[in-house]
Chains A and B, each alone.
Chain A
Amino acid sequence: MIEFKLPELTEGVNEAVVSFWHFKEGDAVQEGDELVEMATDKAAFNVPLKASGVLKRIVAKEGDTVKVGDVLAIIE
Chain B
Amino acid sequence: MRVTDLGITDFSDAYSLQKEIAERVYRGESENTIIITEHRPVITIGRKGSRKNIFRSHEFLSSRGISVFDIDRGGDVTYHGPGQIVAYPIVRLENGARDIHRFLRFLEEVGENLMAMYGLASQKIPGLTGIWIGDKKIGSIGIGVKKWVTYHGMALNINIDLEPFSFIRPCGIEGLRITSLKDVLGREVDIEDAKSKLKLSFNEVSQLAEAGSKI
The reply to whether B75 and A9 form a contact with Cβ atoms under 8 Å apart is no
Contact partner of B48 (CB less than 8 A), chosen from A34, A40, A45, A46, is: A40
- B135-148 interface bits toward A, Cβ cutoff 8 Å, 1 = contact, 0 = none: 00000011111110
The reply to whether B129 and A46 form a contact with Cβ atoms under 8 Å apart is no
The reply to whether B99 and A40 form a contact with Cβ atoms under 8 Å apart is no
Contacts of B100 in A (CB 8 A): 9-10, 40, 43, 45
Contact partner of B101 (CB less than 8 A), chosen from A10, A19, A48, is: A10
- Beta-carbon nearest neighbor of B103 in chain A: A43
The reply to whether B147 and A42 form a contact with Cβ atoms under 8 Å apart is no
In the complex, number of A-B residue pairs with CB atoms less than 8 Å apart = 63
The reply to whether A39 and B101 form a contact with Cβ atoms under 8 Å apart is no
- A23-60 interface bits toward B, Cβ cutoff 8 Å, 1 = contact, 0 = none: 00000000000100101111111101000000000000
The reply to whether A43 and B146 form a contact with Cβ atoms under 8 Å apart is no
B residues adjacent to A (C-beta < 8 A): 46-48, 72-76, 99-102, 104, 129, 141-147
19 pairs from A and B in contact (CB 8 Å cutoff): A9-B101, A10-B99, A10-B102, A11-B101, A19-B72, A34-B146, A34-B147, A37-B72, A39-B47, A39-B48, A40-B48, A42-B75, A42-B129, A42-B143, A43-B104, A43-B144, A44-B46, A45-B100, A46-B147
Q: Which 10 A-B pairs have the closest CB atoms?
A: A39-B47, A10-B101, A43-B74, A45-B145, A42-B74, A42-B129, A44-B144, A44-B47, A43-B100, A19-B47
